[in-house]
């Protein structure tokens, strides 16, 4: 007879169809919530021996030499769980039984004192690994043939639960399935299609980077359809490749934070999206107020004739965000160390004759192009007093600003324009990054999105001033 263990009643039913005569659910609540801890291991030996006693045709025989019964327990245990179940597996065995440990799902099994094996009835343990059983080509062929013959005779049946691409997002997905204990069969990764997808995304990245550097007449109008990212996941993967290329080419630059785009109703309408998206900030494209920015600086990839001036409230993180944590506006406030008035210059790798063309690009192309980031200009940093930081950060939605171009006011705004509050935008970013296994780090600068009521285009020769009231002003000039 075969006794199996699993973490839910659903899996127990599957195990019974695969040859288990009895199945023990390792959680006392027997629910389908896989996040709860297994708590049956301490009682496993008693449960196993109880099943054997109830279903054994022969009586349980006492030993002449101790309290351990001769035939009370399993002949052999195969344990792939490891740390949490190893000692319980040994206790399930009858005298002279064997434990085979072959996995570490809960961690490595503990060190086992040989005297414990003696105490439990002269047990034997082994921890095999595949390589020791296929040391020669002959062994590989022999064992492979044995497996395929078992499949052919239907003595071994494989259940393929899902087929995934060998890509970043699918590897994360498969890993989450494994960690979340959602697997009831094999998950296969298609390496060939995964590499084909990666090559496609690399080509898209190269197209974007080349177009950013190209003169106006040579810029792309769109990414070629055969290599264009089709989903947001693909778009962020292209963005990652764009980021890596920038770090490689601009060898002294580094990532200094993240930018959030489309955090106001106006901004979302301007690019025809219904949720924010994000990109990367670099040290070589981040400047202090009062600077002069050259439109022809190839490292910035600015498109003359399409330079959108976006006043934004930026923040600096005072500690790392935690992977796996779902943040709220209240819990994220404590991670903000300072507030920085800032202005982003948004631009595009794609030729933009007007703002209507910008609206037609689509979210995947916008994201792939590093969320349209060109440059970031920072004002004086307002450091939050730890005793008063929550109040100060909480009032960001009440702060206002006015944008002047060459001395003329062209737009006004407030923190309330940014998803109702800049903290809401930061919260969205941290949680969005978390779904991709990423975090924000201490010291990162986060620009939370445009806070004025309209898009403003600037050109060579313009002087830009944004007045943030109590936070001060940010100024810069655009030159050849």
The pLDDT tens digits of the residues spanning 134-169 come to 999 999 999 999 999 999 998 888 888 999 988 877
Percent of the chain with pLDDT over 90: 73
Q: Where are the beta strands (DSSP E) in 264-335?
A: 277-282, 286-288, 291-294, 307-317
Three-state secondary-structure class, residue 446: strand
Angle, nearest 10°, between helix axes 232-249 and 191-213? 60
* pLDDT score, position 389: 64
Reduced DSSP (H G I as helix, E B as strand, rest coil) percent helix, strand, coil of the chain, to 5: 35, 25, 40
Q: 108-128 pLDDT, tens per residue?
A: 999 999 999 999 999 999 999
- The answer for residues whose C-beta is within 8 angstroms of residue 262's C-beta and 6 or more apart is 268, 271, 273, 275, 276, 277, 449
Q: At what angle do helices 232-249 and 168-179 cross, to 10 degrees?
A: 120
Tokens of 21: 């005569």
Residue 411 — left, alpha, or beta (φ > 0 → left; ψ -120 to 50 → alpha)? beta
Return the residue matching tokens 């344990």: 79
Residue 30 has pLDDT above 70, yes or no: no
Residue 102 has pLDDT above 80, yes or no: yes
Residues 6 or more apart whose Cβ sits within 8 Å of residue 238 = 201, 204, 205, 208, 229, 367, 368
Q: What is the DSSP letter of 459?
A: -
**Segments of 80-223 assigned E as strands:** 93-101, 124-126, 160-165, 186-190
Q: What angle do CA 203, 206, 208 make, to 5 degrees?
A: 110
Structure confidence at residue 231 (pLDDT): 92
Tokens of 480: 């050849």
Confidence of residue 36 (pLDDT cuts 50, 70, 90): low
d(CA 7, CA 37): 9
Q: Residue 288 has what pLDDT? A: 98
Res. 99 pLDDT band, cuts 50 70 90:
very high
Q: Which residues pair with 401 in a beta bridge?
A: 413
Nearest CA to 405 out of 358, 466, 362 is that of 466
Contacts of 198 (CB under 8 A, 6+ apart): 167
For residue 462, what are the contacts with CB-CB under 8 A and spacing of at least 6?
A: 405, 406, 477, 478
Q: Which residue, chain included where needed, has tokens 């309408």?
A: 269
What's the CA gap between 364 and 116, in Å, rounded? 60
Name the least confident of 3-7, 129-133, 158-162, 260-264: 158-162
Token pair of 7, please? 């973490």
Phi, psi of 473 (to 5 degrees): -120, 155
Q: Distance between CA atoms of 79 and 91, rounded to whole angstroms?
A: 12
Alpha carbon separation from 7 to 33, 179, 276, 298, 386 (Å, rounded):
9, 13, 38, 57, 45
The predicted-structure confidence for 327-370, as pLDDT tens digits, reads as follows 999 999 889 999 999 999 999 999 998 888 888 899 999 999 99
pLDDT at 100 over 90: yes
Alpha helices in 77-190 (DSSP H): 86-91, 114-119, 137-152, 168-179
Q: pLDDT digit string (tens) for 392-439?
A: 788 899 999 999 999 999 999 999 999 999 999 999 999 999 988 899
Mean pLDDT of 383-394: 75
Alpha-helical regions (H) of 64-132: 86-91, 114-119
Residue 283 scores a pLDDT above 80: yes
Say how many C-beta atoms besides its own lie within 10 A of residue 260's C-beta: 27
Mean pLDDT, rounded, of the chain: 92
Which pLDDT score, from 0 to 100, does residue 39 have?
Answer: 87
Q: E strand or H helix at 341, and its extent?
A: strand 336-346
pLDDT of the residue at 364: 94
Q: In what helix (H) or strand (E) does residue 245 lie, and over which residues does it extend?
A: helix 232-249
> Is the CB of residue 349 less than 8 Å from the CB of residue 205?
no
pLDDT average, residue stretch 1-26: 92
Q: Residue 178: its pLDDT value, please? A: 84
DSSP-based three-state secondary structure for 238: helix
């Amino acid at each position: 007879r075969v006794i199996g263990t699993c973490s839910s009643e659903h899996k127990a039913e599957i195990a019974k169809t695969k040859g288990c005569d009895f199945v023990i659910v390792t959680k006392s609540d027997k629910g389908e919530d896989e996040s709860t801890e297994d708590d049956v291991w301490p009682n496993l030996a008693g449960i196993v021996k109880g099943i054997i006693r109830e279903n054994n045709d022969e009586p349980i025989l006492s030993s002449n030499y101790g309290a351990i019964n001769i035939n009370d327990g399993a002949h052999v245990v195969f344990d792939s769980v490891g740390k949490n179940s190893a000692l319980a597996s040994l206790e399930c065995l009858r005298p002279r039984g064997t434990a085979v440990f072959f996995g570490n799902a809960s961690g490595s099994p503990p060190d086992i004192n040989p005297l414990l094996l003696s105490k439990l009835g002269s047990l034997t343990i082994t921890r095999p690994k595949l390589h020791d059983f296929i040391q020669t080509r002959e062994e590989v062929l022999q064992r492979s043939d044995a497996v395929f013959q078992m499949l052919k005779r239907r003595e071994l049946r494989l259940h393929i639960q899902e087929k995934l691409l060998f890509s970043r997002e699918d590897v994360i997905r498969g890993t989450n399935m494994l960690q979340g204990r959602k697997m009831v069969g094999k998950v296969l990764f298609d390496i060939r299609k995964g590499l084909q997808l990666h090559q496609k995304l690399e080509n898209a990245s190269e197209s974007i980077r080349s177009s950013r550097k190209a003169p106006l007449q040579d810029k792309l109008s769109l990414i070629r359809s055969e290599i264009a990212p089709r989903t947001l996941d693909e778009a962020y993967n292209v963005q990652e490749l764009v980021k890596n290329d920038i770090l490689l080419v601009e060898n002294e630059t580094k990532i200094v934070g993240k930018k959030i785009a489309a955090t106001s109703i106006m901004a979302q309408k301007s690019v025809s999206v219904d949720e924010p998206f994000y990109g990367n900030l670099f040290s070589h494209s981040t400047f202090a107020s009062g600077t002069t920015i050259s439109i022809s600086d190839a490292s910035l990839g600015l498109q003359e004739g399409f330079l959108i001036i976006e006043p934004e409230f930026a923040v600096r993180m005072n500690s790392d965000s935690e992977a796996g944590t779902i943040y709220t506006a209240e819990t994220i406030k404590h991670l903000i160390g300072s507030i920085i008035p800032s202005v982003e210059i948004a631009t595009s790798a794609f030729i933009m004759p007007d703002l209507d063309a910008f609206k037609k690009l689509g979210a995947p192309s916008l994201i792939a192009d590093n969320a349209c980031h060109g440059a970031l200009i920072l004002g004086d940093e307002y450091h939050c007093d730890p005793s008063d930081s929550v109040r100060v950060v909480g009032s960001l939605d009440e702060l206002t600003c006015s944008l002047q171009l060459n001395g003329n006011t062209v737009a006004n705004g407030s923190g309330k324009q940014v998803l109702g509050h800049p903290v809401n935008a930061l919260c969205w970013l941290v949680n969005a990054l978390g779904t991709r296994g990423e975090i924000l780090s201490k010291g990162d600068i986060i620009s939370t999105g445009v806070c004025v009521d309209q898009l403003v285009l600037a050109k060579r020769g313009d002087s830009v001033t944004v007045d943030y009231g109590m936070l001060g002003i940010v100024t810069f000039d655009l030159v050849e």
